[in-house]
Structure 1
Amino acid sequence: MLDLEPGPLLGVDVSADYPLTTLPLPDGTLLALYTDGLVEVPGADPSRITAALADHLAAHRADGLDTLIDGLVQVGWPSGRHTDDIALLLLRAGRPPL
């Protein structure tokens, strides 16, 4: 998990500045970006859910990205009844084929 400076909420202030983060992504790195709707489950600890998401990514990193996304949403919301919108972006770093 990365500890990054958060920016303001999207759309709140069109002139807002957002922090820029640069980091190397070695081949094989799997990066998951998600909105709070994935981890802020009523009655649950967001840090516990975040840890469960990291465990799921580590255990299933070889799965296809579509399968990983479905699995992550299931980890965050096992009942399947979401109370907030969820945006999830997965990026697998690697060299393009020659």
Structure 2
Amino acid sequence: MTTKTRREFTEEFKREAVGLLASSGRPLMQVANELGIQPSMLRNWRGRLGSVAGQATAAERPATTGLAVSAEQAEIRRLQKELERAQMERDIPKKAIGIFSGPPR
């Protein structure tokens, strides 16, 4: 009888997966399939880490002083968020490949 080894994921991978789910606007099932994990795992991570991830992104945002933000600044902020999202989407599959192609335990 063979026993299956339980896969373990780093906290960083979990945070990035939840962040990808939140920022992509795609369904949970699609994101989970792309990452090669069960949807229930991603749902649990979102429940556990969702509030923590939301606080981190809110803390990273600069506080506005009530002054009108110029169109250029708004465009820069939008592009920075878009770049961050693209980098996260690029890095998650690389990390998943690294996890799954590692030596068996």
Shorter-chain TM-score category?
A: under 0.3
Structure-1-length-normalised TM-score: 0.26
Structure-2-length-normalised TM-score: 0.24
Which has more helix, going by share of residues? 2
Which has more strand, going by share of residues? 1
